[in-house]
Structure formats: C-alpha cells, structure tokens
Amino acid sequence: EIVMTQSPATLSVSPGERATLSCRASQSVSSNLAWYQQKPGQAPRFLIYGASSRATGIPARFSGSGSGTEFTLTISSLQSEDFAVYYCQQYNDWPQWTFGQGTKVEIK
C-alpha cells in the first residue's frame, strides 16, 4: 500500500495570505495525484487532478505541483471560504487509492 503523508497537520494563515500544503508519497505515484477540500459536515470536494490540473469550477487561486513523491497544493490568496481540511490522494495504485491524513487550514 502506498502511504501518503501530509504536512503540516495544521496551518494557520491570515486571509489574503498564501498557503502552501505538502504531500509526500512512500513511493513514486508519477503525476497520479488528486487534492480534495472538506469543510465541517460536508463531503469532500474535488479540487485538483493529475497533480496540477484544476477540476471543473475550481478557482484559479488553487494550484498544484509536483511529481513522483513530492507534491504541493498552493492557495495564492486565502479567502474565508478556503478554511477547511485538505486531503491528497494517490491514484497510481488502482483501485486502492490512498489518502493522506489531511491538513487543516485555519484562520490565524
């Protein structure tokens, strides 16, 4: 099983600032990586696929990068609605697509 490790566990950011979230895979997943956003009491929302492509309707302030084992999700200017938990997921090892443990982005 490919283990996904996210850091930090919690990120405190002021509105309007940049947030940078990291995700590391225990072995190469090429660019087969997705990101999701989850707000309290809601289902996850599909943000990024292919490590860097935005899903339909996702604002341009969300960007992804990386390949192999190291990946980054960047939110360029945090809006109030962006405070949430973010999960990375590898889909290289089908069908056991594993998730990271999540990074909570909170208001500083």
Partner 1 sequence: EVQLVESGGGLVQPGGSLRLSCAASGFTFNTYGMNWVRQPPGKGLEWVSYISHTGTATHYADSVKGRFTISRDNAKNSLYLQMSSLRDEDTAVYYCARALRDGYDAWGQGTLVTVSS
Binding residues for partner 1 (CB under 8 A): 32, 34, 36, 42-46, 49-50, 55-56, 87, 89, 91, 95-102
Rounded CA separation 41/45 (Å): 12
Least CB distance to partner 1 at residue 27 (A): 17
For partner 1, which is the closer residue by CB, 43 or 60? 43
CA–CA dist 6, 87 (Å, integer): 8
Q: Between 16 and 95, whose beta carbon lies closer to partner 1?
A: 95
Minimum CB separation of residue 20 from partner 1 in Å reads 20
The whole-angstrom distance between residue 88's C-alpha and the CA centroid of its chain comes to: 4
Q: Report the alpha-carbon distance of residue 24 to residue 43 in Å, rounded.
A: 23
